[in-house]
Structure 1
């Protein structure tokens, strides 16, 4: 969400949030007819926190300038200054204020009201229920507008909190820097002007192997979060280490639009660990030398005292065990310190966010929209809390292959983009195959299925107006399982079908595809899971076939 630069975040107290749950706002009522006033004032009083009443447009304009009400209700015909003219003057002062106009049925008045952007035009005599419905609608819109301003204000504070405690940068899809905060400038020694527009490898340390960056790009281009400790070089040539999390940011279509990197300085911890490793090697060398010297001495003493030789060997072994234990404890202490820092950086703001969501839920009462937002927000907080555990798993070796159910995994993948498919009016038909299991990488397989479904969705949206369908068939063939993803989107051109698995080749517009999705999918299936991924055109579309050993 982009912050509104015109919004004064320092004057947030001026927003009337204390009345938001009751949805009551101040109303200016301008009406010359005492009979209409008598009919409508009780309703307006019920809906308003403050009601200001004027009998002509001039008086109404003065009251507006003095009290700055939230809603205007006015008649068209009045002495001195008519309602339409008054509304024009008010719109010059506050262009987005909601205005409800009452008046006789007149096409000219209605046209003028539309031109100045009023909310509603109610024909006299005004139906009371109709007025209540209109006020309900206007107050709800005002409430949502002020809630949005408040959320933007809170997000601005969260951004400041992250910027002040972490090293943050953003790049485009090609790794060109588009944003850095002050902490990034401090640790790198570069100014913002020197960094913006440059490739992020401006701080890359030459000691880092090329393979490391290849794995890094492979991960984030697959829309996965990358985490690791990176060795960088500052402008003055000094080395610094940062614990880094790089998050791909995608648009509504699932296309990566930029990368956000959040880091914190772990230079002291890394240097301490390197120092401990050097000490460990020195002690290991001393131990070896000690072993050699002891061995020489024991040879000389063996003939004199066999018992003494055994005691010396026993003591040497004890020393080795003590040294190993000391080194292990030092490593664990360093790791514990790093994990403690992570927990402190994450859990405090997460707890504050949880409290804030709870307060919003408590104030929202029976507002279903706010409650839905609360449920979504708390779900996101739970996932963010899990990040600490995910970070710990980083220090363990890569996860091994596992046995997983094909049907359930595909079903879970479909649920991820179910909303997008419904929006495009696409029906997904999943055949039965609930008992079939394979041995491999579940998450990577799910990514392949998502990529194939997204490609089919794009083809259907581009080439078909109705009856858009995707069939996913699961069946057993000897010692293999076949997964077929079929669409009726018109198929792939014959001169292109042999190239679609090549890297950086895409049939989509350059702004809609990178040409890496099918290439990465084929690598996952054939190299990581010992399977086969093929494509062919069928009667009404394309069919992708995955063949995996059971």
Structure 2
């Protein structure tokens, strides 16, 4: 069902308010009484005032739907009252009644936005015709307002649902990243643990064949402590890397890039992939640093995965930070051969993936975060050796760190 049909269906449930209240301003008592009785046949409430000053006071008190007023009255004329009312309400329908068919009265009434001008004595059929037109207008306006409120509620609901969905996607992607990072930690821990094992075996052999000297014990403790400290630092880096921080701050691009690269470096080196960081001009962004961290991590991991199945001795991921014409740029490129032509236009689509076991969330979130959180842009292209992702952000002089 389309939104339009949903709206129309919802409209049938709206109990349109057809209640109409009228402020009638007339100084001649006999005409006032006669016309107020007639008005009662067509509207729900009739409020009476005997001059423009009283009419203005009643208007401010009851806020009527429609005003009917004479022109020539003591204390304040009808046109003077209308002029004051128009300062507060420019849209309320107004009918002017008068025994004088003067052009200057008519022109002044038109200037004040008067809808109808009725000559006295007032013909009931003409009055009824005017009222029916105004009532139709009022009902249409009320329906339009109800329709607008309905759409506003729908938009608000959709925004909440979209934000909830995006939050879920971010958490899913983060879980996926954590799984990858755990494998990185396992790899980084494997060599130090193996070294510690050899160190302990060597201690046993040394004890069996010769006395342990203070120098040997000191060297043993130093080497063991260094490896244990490395393991602890690796875990601290992991916990720090995934520490949730929703506060917006100013942060430099180079800090985030170096932090991510440092965490990945050893694992990537073991796979024969070199990360090269080139800082031409550094700059700062304002936002949630953890979110930008996700952007960099996803793009570097995407570049790394492009080498899967390849046996290259020169595999390289190049990251360039620069400023060009007051635009901060971050370029991440690889030499893995590039993206297939038929896939490049779909690379940022939700759930699109070319990787076995991939979730199709990472690059979708990269684009969302760059564009919506940091008001930047991202484009992907194939260069001579491989794929290139180029991010661009608006910066000012205060955000440069040359």
Tell me the TM-score range normalised by the shorter chain. 0.3 to 0.5
Structure having the higher Rg: 2
- Normalising by structure 1, we get a TM-score of 0.33
